[in-house]
Amino acid sequence: MESSAFQLSRIYGQGWNAAKQWLADHDRDPNPKQAAKLNPHHAFEERDRWSKGFEAGLLSRTGGRAMANLQSWRPDGDA
């Protein structure tokens, strides 16, 4: 059975949320085997979409970790 675009967007969001939860609970990224075990889907298309959301969630690094670099993009004197 093929998933709708809406279902796939929800699955992507589930993966993104799972990554954020991982980052909140751990001080390191999961290895690929750990990430695969977290993926609750069985169909290829759904597993792929969840994985993309999970990866994007890991890469976004919002929150406290990102705050340390908040001013790094500003030229001198623009504070």
- pLDDT for residue 78 is more than 70: no
**Pair of tokens at residue 27:** 């001080």
**16-40 pLDDT per residue, tens:** 999 999 999 998 889 989 999 999 9
Distances from the Cα of 78 to the Cαs of 25, 31, 66, 70, 72, in angstroms?
A: 35, 39, 19, 13, 11
- pLDDT for residue 61 is more than 80: no
Q: How confident is the model at residue 62 (pLDDT cuts 50, 70, 90)?
A: low
- Are 12 and 52 within 8 A, CB to CB? yes
CB within 8 A of 44, min separation 6: which ones?
Answer: none
d(CA 74, CA 14): 34
**Pair of tokens at residue 65:** 């970790």
pTM listed for this prediction: 0.73
Average pLDDT over residues 46-50: 96
